[in-house]
């Protein structure tokens, strides 16, 4: 089992985005459940299943050493006793590169396990028709009734 314990789904999500920014494959894989049924879909990519495919995809992403920065906004979280679903907007940038990036909408699903909360699904896709992040208007706060 992975060494780190995430007491909440939000802790696991914070570790996921921290590992993404640092390009740390081992830290990234600590967030994921050790289950053959995990699923990852990167923007514009196909469905990857199981730890081997998920690990290899992150290894390739981190291999370029791109120094990603991720600012997560518009989080909507649905939590239960055993499962949590987070929908977020990922506003990506690359350190030292001023070019705007298209925002990404991601759905992250977490499962409560004996080793704490673990990611079981990450599905990300570009926001259709969205202007690049630098051109986008600031998001207005949402009020849910």
Domain ranges of the chain: 9-126
**Regarding the domain delimited by 9-126, which CATH topology (the fold level of the hierarchy) does it fall under?**
Nuclear Transport Factor 2; Chain: A, (3.10.450)
For residue range 1-47, list pLDDT tens digits in order: 447 899 999 999 999 999 999 999 999 999 999 999 999 999 989 99
With a cut of 80, say whether residue 61 has pLDDT above it: yes
Q: Which residue has the higher pLDDT, 120 or 115?
A: 120
What is this structure's pTM? 0.84
Nearest to 29 by CA among 48, 1, 66: 1
- Mean pLDDT computed over every residue of the chain: 87
pLDDT of residue 141: 47
**Residues 31-69, buried b or exposed e (16+ Cβ, 10 A)?**
bbbeeeebbbbbeeeeebeeeeebbebbeeebeeeeebe
- The answer to whether the CB of 105 falls within 8 A of the CB of 88 is yes
């Amino acid at each position: 089992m992975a060494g780190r314990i995430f007491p909440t789904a939000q802790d696991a999500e914070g570790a996921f985005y921290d590992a993404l920014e640092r390009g740390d494959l081992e830290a990234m894989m600590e967030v994921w459940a050790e289950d053959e049924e995990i699923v990852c879909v990167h923007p514009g990519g196909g469905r990857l299943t199981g730890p081997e495919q998920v690990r290899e995809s992150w290894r390739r992403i981190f291999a370029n050493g791109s120094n990603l920065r991720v600012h997560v906004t518009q989080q909507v979280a649905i939590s239960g006793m055993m499962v949590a679903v987070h929908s977020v907007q990922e506003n990506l940038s690359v350190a030292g590169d001023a070019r705007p990036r298209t925002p990404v909408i991601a759905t992250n699903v977490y499962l409560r396990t004996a080793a704490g909360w673990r990611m079981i699904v990450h599905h990300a896709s570009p926001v259709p028709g969205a202007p690049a992040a630098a051109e986008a208007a600031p998001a207005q706060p949402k009020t849910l009734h």
